[in-house]
């Protein structure tokens, strides 16, 4: 069970970039437990796995958290050289590696999303933006690495008259450690979506699914999501 948003008038207001995936779901609930007034922000950039946006909307409705889905599909032609945004590019399968999953890198994605989230924070008087970059992303995604987060945090402090802090609480954590934190909080990961394939059920074969399954295996528990195949055995 998750805790309700804080009603404390003195609680700080923050923006949480919330994709609907398990990392941002955990970040969202961590912020709730810290007692913040949260504005969740999701982005439709033409991703194939847009089901995550429906999941994010449903979670925020259940929690009573203000939630905005920003339609930025107009930039699709600028970022369509990725398997996540272009259905004509084959979705790679197998475990994460620099060789077979470079195709899932969306050009400049986090810089774009963070810039918009910082604007939202300034607009509503929020002093912080949270997002779910984590240690497992460092090998593939430059915009999840500590150097990027530190640089963007510096920019967020000087880009407006009102400084904003960029907060990535799991920057040095693995996905298994993030999941462990969420399980300790009693979170229900049926309320998340991870698969990149964009089908009715999670494929269990893409790198995102396999990393998720490995995290559950590392925590000696079973993923509550349904998969197209007996994917629970993939990483055991």
203 among the known binding-site residues?
yes
**Residue whose entry in the numeric block shows the structure tokens 């449903």:** 58
45 among the known binding-site residues?
no
60 among the known binding-site residues?
no
Q: Is 64 left (phi over 0), alpha (psi -120 to 50) or beta?
A: left
Q: What is the DSSP letter of 126?
A: -
23 among the known binding-site residues?
yes
171 among the known binding-site residues?
no
24 among the known binding-site residues?
yes
Report CA 40 to chain centroid distance, whole Å. Answer: 11
SS3 (DSSP) at 93: strand
DSSP string, 197-231: S-SSSB-S-BHHHHHHHHHHHHTT----S-BSS-G
Residue 197 has phi, psi (to 5 degrees) of: -70, -25
186 among the known binding-site residues?
no
Query: Whole-angstrom Cα distance, residue 221 to residue 107?
Result: 34
- Strand residues in the chain grouped as ranges (E): 13-17, 37-44, 67-71, 128-130, 165-167
Question: 7 pairs with which residues across the strands?
Answer: none
91 among the known binding-site residues?
no
20 among the known binding-site residues?
yes
> Closest Cα partner for 174 from 228, 96, 114?
96
122 among the known binding-site residues?
no
59 among the known binding-site residues?
no
Query: Whole-angstrom Cα distance, residue 173 to residue 135?
Result: 5
204 among the known binding-site residues?
no
115 among the known binding-site residues?
no
Q: Which residues are annotated as a binding site for ATP?
A: 18-28
Per the annotation, binding residues for Zn(2+) are 195, 203, 206, 209
Q: Please state the residue numbers annotated as binding site.
A: 18-28, 195, 203, 206, 209
């Amino acid at each position: 069970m998750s805790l309700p948003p804080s009603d404390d008038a003195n609680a700080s207001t923050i923006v949480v970039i919330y994709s609907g995936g398990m990392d941002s779901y955990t970040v969202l609930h961590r912020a709730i437990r810290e007692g913040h007034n949260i504005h969740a922000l999701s982005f439709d950039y033409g991703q194939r796995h847009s089901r995550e946006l429906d999941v994010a909307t449903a979670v925020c409705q259940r929690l009573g958290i203000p939630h905005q889905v920003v339609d930025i599909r107009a930039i699709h032609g600028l970022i369509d050289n990725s398997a996540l945004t272009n259905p004509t590019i084959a979705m790679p399968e197998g475990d994460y590696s620099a060789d077979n999953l470079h195709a899932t890198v969306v050009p400049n994605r986090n810089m774009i999303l963070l810039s918009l989230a910082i604007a939202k924070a300034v607009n509503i008087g929020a002093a912080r933006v949270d997002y779910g970059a984590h240690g497992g992303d460092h090998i593939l995604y430059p915009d999840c690495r500590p150097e990027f987060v530190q640089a963007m945090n510096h920019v967020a402090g000087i880009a407006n008259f009102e400084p904003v802090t960029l907060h990535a609480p799991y920057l040095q954590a693995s996905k298994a450690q993030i999941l462990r934190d969420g399980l300790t909080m009693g979170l229900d990961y049926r309320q998340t979506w991870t698969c990149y394939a964009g089908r009715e059920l999670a494929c269990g074969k893409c790198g995102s699914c396999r990393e998720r399954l490995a995290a559950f295996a590392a925590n000696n528990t079973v993923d509550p999501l349904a998969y197209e195949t007996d994917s629970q055995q993939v990483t055991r």
